[in-house]
Amino acid sequence: MDSPILAQLFRQLFRHRPAGCQNRLAHAVRPRHHGYSGSFQRQHRRAYASRVSIDRGMKTNESRWQQRTHILPRDRSDEFAQYPYISAAELKQRTERPRRVKMLLRDFIDDSLYNPSYGYFSKQAVIFSPGEPFDFAAMRDELDFQSELGRRYTEFEDALDDAEGENPTRQLWHTPTELFRPYYGEAIARYLVSNYRLTTYPYHDLLIYEMGAGRGTLMLNILDYIRAADPQVYARTKFNIIEISPSLAAMQNKHLRATAESRGHSDKVEIINRSIFDWDQYVPSPCFFLAMEVFDNFAHDGIRYDVATEAPLQGHVLIDGDGDFYEFYVHELDPLAARFFRVRHAATGGQYPKPYPANPALRYLSTKMPFAANLSDPEFIPTRLMQFFDVLEKYFPAHRLLTSDFDALPQAVRGLNAPVVQTRYERRMVPVTTPLVHQGYFDILFPTDFRITEAIYRAITGKLTRVMSHGDFMRRWAYVEDTQTRSGENPLLSHYKNASVLVTV
């Protein structure tokens, strides 16, 4: 058990078992703040894990449901051979969590986050809105901002409790768009307008696509700014939101029509409720594609390497009849993972991090250590991200990408490029140590290696890019004095030191 609060969480979950998960449980949660620093962030993180049951022959000091050092664990190898594979497409059709099946780890993660019936973003996530924009000039320093943010967070959740009843497992998170409204959106708008006027104006409209738009706040802030600052460009602007979550798409639609500042924007906006990975419409016109804090929730494949031969093995998840999870690694790579290795190697010239010693002598010595594992630590490879770049190259050939995401994350699980897995319980974040968690209750958040990501994006699309820190981007495009406190500290710059921005040039 990771901590005493997990025991409380499990008891709560057993008292209120969701449909389709009787006789088992695995829970954890994280808050979706972006930039984990300060006391406020420590109060709002999240996590999940699975129940204890009969060991079925495994050693008492081993996890029953996550195999770390065996290619095919003996106690579950028969079931692994017998259980049918289930794909991501088949999982989308399910209304209850599957049992007696096996799947790739990336399909398990995708199902946990995005299943229409029980996925985290479909059913669990609530986006925090601070209400009126913060008056940064009236604040003494960053601690003053943290205090005010914590107060508004509490008020927001108290109001939810009054309206919906208390919910100890409510998943509440925030984004920089909401915290720094409208200044964050205005910075993005200045970038868009400036680059549009330098490139395709007046021959093409300003065509914008945003993926993962949350409450739709960024869209409204961008459109408000363009309308006020450049009416000529606003007359040529069309904004499209691509949203996989039906509930978030409905919220965006409601926000667009109900918000006073959004009056007049309705004819500028289309909300498309579908996954970007199901996209099939060719868009030949020049466009800007926004993906702000989206890469972190793209599903990854788990890979371990044979320490002796460096051969990769791909991670699979077995779910038994009790709904418990087991990790298996097999030598045969599926076509997507195999292609990722080819593309990454070609794009980087073979220069990329590995989760084992590069020196053969050190690898040999590592296998001779007492209790040495026969496989390396896991590496989590962004296969879904590569598929996203394929969609851009195939259907949006004239796009320009603007994306921001975390380049490092604290409290990640073990491994290279490993995720933070957490849940929120009684208004506190609870991290856990594995991505094999009860589907739909945990946020699974990956860092982005922007050096590798930039190389793969260039290789697939043929476009040139630039990567910069979040702070450098904001210093160039935001009016940073709008978010500066009296002491000179600036939360817009300091809160996201672990984030980077990639743009197509």
pLDDT per position in the chain (505 positions), as tens?
Answer: 455 566 566 555 545 444 333 333 333 333 344 443 333 343 333 322 333 233 333 333 333 333 444 454 456 888 899 999 999 889 999 999 999 999 999 999 999 999 999 999 887 678 899 999 999 999 999 999 999 999 999 999 999 999 999 999 898 888 999 999 999 999 999 999 999 999 999 999 999 999 988 888 999 999 999 999 999 999 999 999 998 888 778 877 877 777 756 678 989 999 999 999 999 999 999 999 999 999 999 999 999 999 888 999 999 999 999 999 999 999 999 999 999 999 999 999 999 999 998 887 777 777 767 766 788 999 999 999 999 999 999 999 999 999 999 999 999 999 999 999 999 999 999 999 999 999 999 999 999 999 999 999 999 999 999 999 999 999 999 999 999 999 999 999 999 999 999 999 9
- Name the amino acid, one letter, at 131: G
Are 270 and 379 in contact by the 8 Å Cβ rule? The answer is no
Count of CB atoms situated within 10 Å of the CB of 175:
21
Structure tokens at 436: 């094999």
Helices (H), 349-445: 360-367, 383-395
Structure tokens at 172: 């509440």
pTM of the model: 0.85
User: Among 68, 64, 48, which Cα is nearest to 56's?
Assistant: 64
- Name the amino acid, one letter, at 139: M
Instruction: For residues 331 and 442, give the distance between their C-alpha atoms in angstroms, rounded to a whole number.
Output: 29
H/E stretch holding 378: none
Structure tokens at 462: 């043929």
